[in-house]
Amino acid sequence: MPELVASRTDPSLGLRQVLLDDGTADPATDPGLPEPTLLAMYRELRRLRLLDEKMLLVQRQGRIGFYGEVKGQEATPIAAGFALRPDDWVFPGLREGAVMLVRGFPLATYLSQCWGNGLDVQKGRQMPSHYSGRAVHQVSWSSCIGPQIPQAVGAAWAAKLQKKSTVVAGFFGDGATSQPDFHNAMNFAAVYKVPAVLVCQNNHWAISVPSRLQTASPTFAAKAHAYGMPGVRVDGNDVLAVYSALHEAAARAREGLGPTLVECVTDRMGAHSSSDDPTRYRAQDEVDRWAARDPVARFRRYLAQRALVTDATDEALLSALGAELSEAIAVAEAAPALQRGTLFDDVYHALPWHLAEQRQELLGRPPARGHG
């Protein structure tokens, strides 16, 4: 049996950090990544921040219906993209879609999901910001809070039964830990010792519900003890700390030692989504406190201190990223509309007669404006 009372050195109660306030890295925890990897991580962080800014404007201009920002929480999806192997699977929540961008999914195809156009691999069947990229081993979030956790654990169990070395990472927010799916998944994962890494992004809010109303546990990571798996609490605004925690948890899973719960302590700097107004429930001093811990600015301070970035390299990077994003948005907006007959694809191996009739009827009607 695991120890019932966590000791003070318990990693589920502490806060793992690499990036220190003075801009240096703690030599005791630094994963020691090579310079090209550090710069590639920085590029991805900046790309995601800029992508959010541009897409929120696109939404505000009425060009897409909805958008879920990642702002303030970029460190976890970007670190995950670097910590996982290409054959590992990702089951994201709303704020981890971009893991698949880090793993090489084409940007214009990714953004096309927000338009539900002919380039969208999900054929318009999800609301915006619910990306899917099976080519890079990532499935779509289902929009309900929680189901991706047992789905990730089930996929990990399948990998174990098939004797594959694949690890499955499942991501969710602090609010999701109040769902039965979290508890079912944690229990099953630990009992069957599946190769899963379960990542809770604790951004302190579930829309307007504060995290203190989600749990009376000292931390979210501490919940791991009850189920019999390790829990690790990490600074979620420290991309190197998240990288090292996820890398270690994935290695542990791959060795057959079972699942780990990782809590990434972070903040969402923006609204819950484009439909939310956080000024109705969140105090400005809280926003200001977290702005000082901005994950992108913190990593930049570290790289600048090592002379790996300067104002000039930043200017060139931002200009290249701006061009890349504008081009991808233009491709997505110019993409053809979906053919409406695709509505009937992919669900049944053989289309049942009544759906075949409905398809026929639909195709016989004049198309609605803007649809194929």
Ligand X SMILES: Cc1ncc(C[n+]2csc(CCOP(=O)(O)OP(=O)(O)O)c2C)c(N)n1
Rounded to a whole number of angstroms, the minimum distance from the CB of residue 199 to ligand X is: 11
- Tokens linked to 85: 């192997």
Rounded to a whole number of angstroms, the minimum distance from the CB of residue 84 to ligand X is: 20
Give percent helix, percent strand, percent coil of the chain, each to the nearest 5. Answer: 45, 10, 45
CB within 8 A of 44, min separation 6: which ones?
A: 78, 81, 98, 101, 102
369 an active-site residue? no
Which of 167, 176, 296, 332 binds ligand X (CB under 6 A)? It is 176
* 143 binds ligand X per the rule CB under 6 A: yes
In which order are the strands placed within the sheet that holds 196-202?
89-91, 168-173, 196-202, 260-265, 231-235
Rounded alpha-carbon distances, angstroms, from residue 19 to 95, 215, 219, 234, 264: 22, 28, 21, 12, 14
Part in contact with ligand X (CB under 6 A); list of ranges 27-35, 104-112, 143-151, 323-331 = 143-151
Which of 145, 194, 239, 296 binds ligand X (CB under 6 A)? It is 145
Q: How far apart are CA 26 and CA 276, in angstroms?
A: 38
268 an active-site residue? yes
Give 347: exposed, middle or buried? Use CB within 10 Å, 0-12, 13-18, 19+.
Answer: exposed
Rounded to a whole number of angstroms, the minimum distance from the CB of residue 181 to ligand X is: 9
Which of 206, 250, 303, 332 binds ligand X (CB under 6 A)? It is 206
Q: How far apart are CA 136 and CA 298, in angstroms?
A: 29
Instruction: Pick between residue 230 and residue 270 the one whose CB is nearest to ligand X.
Output: 270
Question: What single letter denotes the amino acid at residue 73?
Answer: Q
Rounded to a whole number of angstroms, the minimum distance from the CB of residue 219 to ligand X is: 15
Active-site pick, 125, 272, 293, 300: 272
Question: What single letter denotes the amino acid at residue 367?
Answer: P
Instruction: Pick between residue 173 and residue 258 the one whose CB is nearest to ligand X.
Output: 173
Question: What single letter denotes the amino acid at residue 104?
Answer: G
- Tokens linked to 35: 């310079």
* 80 binds ligand X per the rule CB under 6 A: no
Q: Residue 91 — φ and ψ, nearest 5°?
A: -115, 95
Q: Could you give the string, one character per residue 259-278, with x where binding to ligand X holds by CB under 6 A and - elsewhere?
A: -------------x------
281 an active-site residue? yes
Which of 52, 174, 238, 267 binds ligand X (CB under 6 A)? It is 174
Residue with nearest beta carbon to ligand X: 173
Rounded to a whole number of angstroms, the minimum distance from the CB of residue 313 to ligand X is: 32
What does 168-227 look like in DSSP terms, one character per residue?
EEEEEETGGGGSHHHHHHHHHHHHTT-SEEEEEEE-SEETTEEGGGT--SS-STTHHHHH
CB within 8 A of 96, min separation 6: which ones?
A: 76, 77, 80, 90, 171, 201
Q: How far apart are CA 306 and CA 230, in angstroms?
A: 34
Instruction: Pick between residue 165 and residue 215 the one whose CB is nearest to ligand X.
Output: 215
* 94 binds ligand X per the rule CB under 6 A: yes
* 297 binds ligand X per the rule CB under 6 A: no
H/E segment holding residue 234: strand 231-235
Instruction: Pick between residue 70 and residue 168 the one whose CB is nearest to ligand X.
Output: 70
Instruction: Pick between residue 178 and residue 339 the one whose CB is nearest to ligand X.
Output: 178
Which of 207, 320, 323, 334 binds ligand X (CB under 6 A)? It is 207
Rounded to a whole number of angstroms, the minimum distance from the CB of residue 234 to ligand X is: 16
Instruction: Pick between residue 252 and residue 293 the one whose CB is nearest to ligand X.
Output: 293
Q: How far apart are CA 16 and CA 14, in angstroms?
A: 6
Which of 46, 47, 49, 95 binds ligand X (CB under 6 A)? It is 95
Which of 150, 170, 175, 195 binds ligand X (CB under 6 A)? It is 175
Interacting residue ranges for ligand X, rule: CB under 6 A: 93-95, 143-145, 172-176, 201, 203, 205-207, 272
- Could you list the active site residues? 268, 272, 281
